[in-house]
Amino acid sequence: ALAFAERGASVIVNDLGADTKGGGKSSAAADKVVEEIRAKGGKAVANYDSVEDGEKLIQTALDAFGRIGVILRDRSFARTSDLDWDLIQRVHLRGSFLVTRAAWNHMKNQKFGRIIMTASAAGIYGNFGQANYSAAKLGLLGLANTLAIEGRKYNIHCNTIAPVAGSRLTETVMPPDLVASLKPEYVAPLVLWLGHEQCQENGGLFEVLKLSLYLRWERTQGYIVRQKNQSMKPESIRDHWEKICDFTDATKPANIQESLQSMVSVLSQVESQGDVGVNPAAAAASAAVGQKLPPTTFSFNHTQCILYALGVGMSTKDPDHLRFLYEGHPDFSCLPTFGVIPSQAAMMDGGLSSVPGLNIDFTQVLHGEQYLELYKPLPTSEIVLPAVNTYSGNELVCYNQFSVFVVGAGGFGGKRSSEKAKPPVPPPKRSPDAVVIDSTTRDQAALYRLSGDWNPLHIDPSFAAMGGFKAPILHGLCSFGFAARHVLKQFADNDPSRFKAIKVRFVKPVMPGQSLQTEMWKEGNRVHIQCKVKETDAVVLAGAYVDLHRASGASPENLSQGGGLQSELVFAEIGRRIKDVGSELVKKVNAVFGWEITKDGKKAAQWTIDLKSGSGSLHKGPYSGKVDVTMTVSDEDFMEVVQGKLNPQKAFFSGKLKVRGNIMLSQKLEVILKDYAKL
C-alpha cells in the first residue's frame, strides 16, 4: 500500500483488523497505514469491511476516487491447520471472488484493470497440515488464470503472486533474523509493476522473496501405450512408467488449446497405425553372448543426487550429511555410489530384456555382485552416456560391473566365471577397526526405488511372493550405498573426491526397517567391509572393500591444524576457559559447535567445542560425535569477528561466515567469545 501511494496511486486500505488467529475486529491496522500515506502527501482511505462484503469495499473506492484500477488480494487470517474448511474457503477463495466480481464491470467499462491474486507456496506445492488453506490458495490460481483469459479483450490483466515476507503472521514461525531480511519492501516492486498499465503480463504465476521467480507448467513427452485395435492394460503403463515420467525435452503448454492440440496429434498417430503384431522371442540363448547394449542418454541434476542420498539413509539430523542433501551447501557433492544409477538405468530400462536370448523372468533375478570404480568425482548435474563405462560428454566418469544371477536359467555353455570379473576379497582375521550401525526405515525401499530401480520385487508384496520372499525386500544397491557412505564418513571425512572404487558381494536380502551394521578394517588405502543385519547377525554384504585415494593438500588427514593460524590462540584460550568453568558453560549453552577454519580458500583447521556433555571439552581435528551447528570461516575473518571488528550477522549475510545445522544456537557463542576480544 505504501509503495503504490508513493508512486501516485490512490489507495483503499482494507483490513478487517483481526488478530493473528482470525478473531476480533479493529480499525487500527488500516488507519495506521492510511495515516502514513497521508503524512507523506499521498491519497488513501481506510475500509474495515470483510472481503465477503466485496460490494461495500469496491463502493468505498468509487465514492472516494471515482474508479477502480488495481485489486491486490492478500492473506487475512493466520494459516493455522485447525481453522475449519469453510472459513478458509470463504476468506481466501470466496472473498477474492466477491471483491473481484464487484469490481469487474467497472473495469470492463473503463477498459482497464489490473488484478493481483495472492496465493501461496502451500497452494503450489502443498504443505503438511494445510489441506484447506492449500486448496483455497491453488483455487485462487485457477480463478486468476480464467480471469486472465476472460479479461484480456477488456485490457483487464490478472496475475498471481506467492510471496514470502516477514510480517506479524510469520514472525512467530520464522527466526528474527529471517523476518528482518524478508521485508515486504522486497515484494512490493513486483506487485507495483504487475499493477502498472504498461505491464502486459497476464496469467502469470510468480514466487517472490528477495528475487522474483516466474513459474510455469511443464509436461513430459509421454509414451504411447495404446495401439490401434488393441486393449490398453495397466501393465503397459507400469512397464513404461519411467518414459511416461521422463522430463527430457519436456513441453510447456501455455493454455488449454496447446494442451489439447498435442493430445489430438497423438490420437491421430494411433488411429493411422495398422494392426501391431507381436514379435516372437525365437532367438537362442547363445545369441546373448558378446552382445553390447547400445549407448543411451541419462540426464540428472541436484534433485536426483539428493533423492539418492536420502534413499541410502542420509538425514538432516546429521550436520555432516548436509553437503549431500542441500544444493546450496558450499561443498555440495554427489555421493560416489550414485555412479551405479546411470548404468543400471541403461541395463534395466529395456537393456537386458532387449538382448537376444535373454527371456528373463524378473521375479527370479538376484543381484549377485557389484563393482564400481570412479575416475573423477561425480558432477551434481549432467547428461551422461552410460553403458558399463559412464561418460560425461567425452570424459570417462566411472565404470560399473554388474553380476546378475537368474535362478533356473542357463544354457550358455562355457565357464561359470569370468577372468574379467573383479573378485571379492575376504576381510582381515582380526577385530574391525570401526563399526557403524544405521537403521533403515519401513519405507526405505519405497524411497530408494525413486532413484530409478523400479523392480516390483521391492514394493509389490505379490511380486515378492512370486520370488519366494515373505515381503518386499530392500535393494541390494541400497545396502551398498549405506555401507559406502559409512566408509566415506569414517575414513575420508565425507570427501567424495577421495572415493576410488567399491566391490561387494550380495549374500542375503535385507528387510526394510532392519538395522545395518557395517564392520570396517583399514589396510593402507583399502577399507575392507562386511555388512550384517544387526537384529539377526546375518551377513548381507561380504568380500567387500572400498579403495580410497590418498589424502592430499588440505584434506582431513593432512590438516595443518592451526599451523601459523591466528585462530589457534583463540581456541587455546577457549580451551583454558572450558577447563576452568566448563560445567557452568554446559548449563548455559547445552550444544556442540563445530568450526572449520580456512586459509586461502582451503580447510586448514577443524575444532569442536562440546558444551553439552560432562564439564565440556575442546577437540582439535576430525570429531566422531554429533555436532549441532558448524561454522566455516577464514582465519582472517574469524579474528575480525572475535575482536569485534566484523559484525557476525553481516559476516553471515555477506557469505564470509557459513553456518549449517541449528543456526539459532550460534547466538549462544557470545557466552564463549565475548571475553576474548583482547588476547
What stretch of H or E contains 586? Answer: helix 567-589
Q: Counting Cβ atoms within 10 Å, is residue 100 exposed (0-12), middle (13-18) or buried (19+)?
A: buried
Contact 643, 612 (CB under 8 A): no
Dihedrals phi, psi of 46, to nearest 5 degrees: -90, 150
Among the listed residues 462, 457, 450, the one whose alpha carbon sits nearest the alpha carbon of residue 474: 457
Within its chain, how far is the Cα of 529 from the centroid?
30
The amino acid at 347: M
Q: What is the DSSP letter of 251?
A: B
Q: Counting Cβ atoms within 10 Å, is residue 655 exposed (0-12), middle (13-18) or buried (19+)?
A: exposed
What stretch of H or E contains 396? Answer: strand 395-406
- b/e string for 318-354 if b means 16 or more Cβ within 10 A? ebbbbbbbeeeeebbbbbbbbbbbbbbbbbbbebbee
Strands 617-620 and 602-611: antiparallel
Cα–Cα distance for residue pair 147/270, rounded to 1 Å: 36
Name 262's Cβ contacts closer than 8 Å, sequence gap at least 6: 251, 253
- Within 10 Å of residue 110's Cβ, how many Cβ atoms? 14
What stretch of H or E contains 604? Answer: strand 602-611
Q: What is the DSSP letter of 295?
A: P
Contact 65, 103 (CB under 8 A): no
Cα–Cα distance for residue pair 668/437, rounded to 1 Å: 32
Query: Which residue out of 48, 125, 133, 375 is catalytically annotated?
Result: 133
Among the listed residues 216, 39, 228, 253, the one whose alpha carbon sits nearest the alpha carbon of residue 124: 216
Instruction: Look up residue 251 and give its three cell numbers.
Output: 513441453
Cα–Cα distance for residue pair 534/349, rounded to 1 Å: 34
The amino acid at 149: I
Instruction: Look up residue 16 and give its three cell numbers.
Output: 478487517
Cα–Cα distance for residue pair 365/361, rounded to 1 Å: 7
Residue 518's SS3 state is strand
Known active-site residue 448: no
Strands 526-533 and 539-548: antiparallel
Left (φ > 0), alpha (ψ -120 to 50) or beta: where does 562 sit?
A: left
Contact 571, 561 (CB under 8 A): no
Active-site annotation, residues:
133
